[in-house]
Amino acid sequence: MDDDIARAIALSLQEAKKQKQPAVIDLTSDDDEEPVAIDPDAQFTADLQRAIEASQAEPQTRPTNLNLKRVATTSPEPSSNGSLASTFLSERAQMEKERRERQKRLRREAGLEVQDDDDGRPAKRQHLSSSSRLRYGDSGSSSPPSSPPPEAMRNTKNIAPKVETINQVFWEGELRQTATRHAEPRKDGRPTFRLTEVLGPKSDIAFAIISSFASDVPWMYQFFDPSTPVILVGQPDVTGQPDLKIILPNWIKTTPKLRAGHGCMHMKLFHKNGRLRVVVSTANLIAYDWRDMENSVWLQDIPLRENPIPHDKKATEDFAAVLQYTLQSIHVVPALKAMLMERPNIPISKIEDLRMRWDWSKVKVHLIPSIAGKHEGWPGVIRTGHPRLMKAVRSIGMRTGKTPSAKPLILECQGSSLGAYTTQWMNEFHWSARGESAEDWLKHSKKRRESQPYPPCKILFPTLATVQESGNGEVGGGTLFCRRRQWSAKNYPKDRFYNTKSKAGAVLMHSKMILATIKQTPAGAKKGRESDTESDTDDEIQEVQPALGWLYIGSHNFTPSAWGTLSGSDFNPILNVTNYELGVMFPLKSEQELNTLPCWERPAKKYVLGKDEPWIQDESAFIQAQNS
């Protein structure tokens, strides 16, 4: 381990220590013993110091500070990814050449034999030792910078200790909620995921591509073997420019472009090799999201093909093709080229290998990305945001139709952040959720699009009382966002708000889900509707459990920033998307799936206007005191 590597980790730790860090509870003791609080920072720092001291046995010179090298300070277009990677690789190659020459010189000075291919590396490198203690909920060391640390643990006596990770394989795909310390075991008895179970044993991971809006890199580092190559896709800085840099040994961070620096890289994605595992999650790569907040995780293991298939440029709609398009859009291609310079034996050499080398035939879910930017013209518009959702709805046969006899679709939208809702945007989204073409939507006049009543959408967001009654109380609501100016806005759809409570127990949810079901008209009720987008009220239609519906889970909140906003004409549409998002959508084939897979208690209770208020963290005295 060179000085530059040690310096990289040390600087990362210094940055992490600026955050307030809660104690982690060690639950390896017997159930009838009080859990012992340990200091995760001290544990991690001690492990790190031992590794650094061991590495100093190799002669060193001053560090190159490679880890802090900013490769790109301007914003190349997507077509210039190659030049960005070339710049990165040439600089890295020069530094590697200098390092080898330095090692040879030092070996000569020490009287050691030097061969032409000698790079001065020892046969085995010293790795960071991992703590022997098992930590509940993979809590690691820190809370996210944007959210306050939780209170000390309460009522932990009866929580079962965490056991060794079992290397389960999910060839058919699996959706679970994450384990949380305030609901273990879950009230509904459903199985959960922990991060160690999602990632699996360190030795199984040959290569990983991970993505998150908020990332605690020192915390994540402990879940990987130090020799494992990792590409981290993260949030761009305020300039919104794409970037590429080494942040840790074998770790490269890449950031995609954001127009004018507005929006966020909100995707949560894991990718590993062996078999290949794809994970779409609502959780950030921070301890708080995997310990205190309930999140949703979908994952599936993909087997290798016996023989690779040829690359098919025409394939754009299946899961693998959409995944490749997504990775290309979030600046992974130049990062992969840079990684190959360091680690030429990683399992993939180009993004197209994913579809060519792995068998995706058992994947039944549909991948729904949102790619930040202005998308103009039909080929680009239907690949992202809510038009992409429309394509998925059609593919599972859930298009409702536009005739007066069409059955209305009701949406239940669970999220952690609210948007600036208008009747036009909510009807626009509802149109796509029904499987209707954006082309037909844009054929309507702007006046007609703006004059429609709100569609049958239930917006699920916790009330102030629900947050106060949760395990962490108001302090736990730091990553749930509603603003007073939103709630107080004229014509805001307050009558569409429903309280959301987890099926697990007294825990707050960071999950993003959309449940779509069909309402049926009771006998004798009016069947027709005067317009394509006009919706009946909840009182006029009696809800019944349908045999089919669909469920979305991913990083998308129910907001225009996440799903996009349409403009332009039916001939030349324009979709503006603010964020990078990713999720999966799949049909619900039975009433059992419809009742068990959504993460909230159903039926959700409607807000009593004048009595119920949404949780607004800016008005919480506890949050303000914590942040001061």
CB-neighbour burial class of residue 240 (10 A; exposed 0-12, middle 13-18, buried 19+) = middle
What is the band of 120 on the pLDDT scale with cuts at 50, 70, 90?
very low
User: How crowded is the C-beta side of 142, counted as CA atoms within 13 Å?
Assistant: 27
At 61 the pLDDT is: 31
At 519 the pLDDT is: 72
What is the band of 318 on the pLDDT scale with cuts at 50, 70, 90?
very high
Alpha-carbon dihedral 29, 34, 37, 38, rounded to 10 degrees: -20
At 97 the pLDDT is: 65
Higher-confidence residue of 108 and 299: namely 299
Average pLDDT of the chain, as a whole number: 77
What is the band of 108 on the pLDDT scale with cuts at 50, 70, 90?
low
Residue 126 in this model has a pLDDT that exceeds 60: no
Residue 220 in this model has a pLDDT that exceeds 50: yes
Which residues make up the CATH 3.30.870.10 domain(s) of the chain? 166-364, 378-627
Q: Quickly list H helices, 304-409.
A: 319-329, 332-342, 353-357, 378-381, 385-395
CB contact at 8 A, 42 and 26: no
Q: What is the mean pLDDT of residues 66-87?
A: 40
CB-neighbour burial class of residue 521 (10 A; exposed 0-12, middle 13-18, buried 19+) = middle
Task: Give the whole-number percent of the chain exceeding pLDDT 70.
Answer: 68
Lowest mean pLDDT among 129-143, 464-478, 568-582: 129-143
Most confident region among 41-55, 91-105, 146-160, 286-300 by mean pLDDT: 286-300
Phi/psi for 219 (5° steps) reads: -70, -45
What is the band of 259 on the pLDDT scale with cuts at 50, 70, 90?
confident
CB contact at 8 A, 280 and 268: yes
Cα–Cα distance, 586 to 570 (Å, whole number): 28
Q: Which of 435, 459, 392 is nearest to 532 (CA)?
A: 435
Please, which contacts does 462-466 make with residues 24 or more away whose CB atoms are closer than 8 Å?
462/499, 462/500, 462/501, 462/508, 462/509, 462/614, 462/615, 463/499, 463/607, 463/612, 463/613, 463/614, 463/615, 464/612, 464/613, 464/614, 464/615, 464/616, 465/612, 466/499, 466/500, 466/501, 466/508, 466/615
At 99 the pLDDT is: 56
Cα–Cα distance, 233 to 208 (Å, whole number): 11
At 264 the pLDDT is: 83
Residue 303 in this model has a pLDDT that exceeds 90: yes
Q: What is the mean pLDDT of residues 24-46?
A: 33
What is the band of 453 on the pLDDT scale with cuts at 50, 70, 90?
very high
CATH assignment of 378-627? Answer: 3.30.870.10
CB contact at 8 A, 516 and 410: yes
Who contacts 515 (Cβ-Cβ below 8 Å, separation ≥6)?
A: 411, 412, 414, 549, 550, 551, 552, 594, 598
pTM of this prediction exceeds 0.85: no
Q: Would strands 573-577 and 565-568 be described as parallel, antiparallel, or unpaired? A: antiparallel
Higher-confidence residue of 35 and 544: namely 544
Cα–Cα distance, 106 to 120 (Å, whole number): 9
What is the band of 7 on the pLDDT scale with cuts at 50, 70, 90?
low
Who contacts 310 (Cβ-Cβ below 8 Å, separation ≥6)?
A: 356
At 313 the pLDDT is: 84
CB contact at 8 A, 176 and 190: yes
Cis check: omega of the bond before 462, within 30 degrees of 0: no
Task: Give the whole-number percent of the chain exceeding pLDDT 90.
Answer: 58
Tens digits of residue pLDDT in 400-447: 887 656 778 999 999 999 999 999 999 999 999 999 999 999 998 988
Q: Taken in order 444, 448, 449, 452, is the CA torsion positive or negative?
A: negative
Cis check: omega of the bond before 603, within 30 degrees of 0: yes
At 267 the pLDDT is: 74
Cα–Cα distance, 584 to 160 (Å, whole number): 32
Cα–Cα distance, 195 to 137 (Å, whole number): 8
Q: Would strands 36-38 and 24-26 be described as parallel, antiparallel, or unpaired? A: antiparallel
CB contact at 8 A, 157 and 268: no
At 132 the pLDDT is: 24
Q: What is the mean pLDDT of residues 457-464?
A: 98
Q: Taken in order 330, 333, 338, 342, is the CA torsion positive or negative?
A: positive
CB contact at 8 A, 585 and 555: no
Q: Which residue has the tokens 């932990």?
A: 156
Most confident region among 41-45, 257-261, 457-461, 518-522 by mean pLDDT: 457-461
Who contacts 170 (Cβ-Cβ below 8 Å, separation ≥6)?
A: 299, 300, 301
Q: What is the mean pLDDT of residues 233-250?
A: 93
Q: Which residue has the tokens 């100093």?
A: 56
Higher-confidence residue of 600 and 518: namely 600
Alpha-carbon dihedral 198, 202, 203, 206, rounded to 10 degrees: 70
Who contacts 162 (Cβ-Cβ below 8 Å, separation ≥6)?
A: 27, 28, 134, 135, 136, 137, 194
At 11 the pLDDT is: 54
Q: What is the mean pLDDT of residues 174-187?
A: 95
At 314 the pLDDT is: 84
Residue 527 in this model has a pLDDT that exceeds 70: no
Neighbours of 426 (CB within 10 A): 25
Q: What is the mean pLDDT of residues 557-581?
A: 96
Residues paired with residue 374 on neighbouring β-strands, in sequence order = 576
Query: For the domain with range 166-364, which CATH number is right: 3.40.250.10, 1.10.8.640, 3.30.870.10, 3.40.50.300?
Result: 3.30.870.10
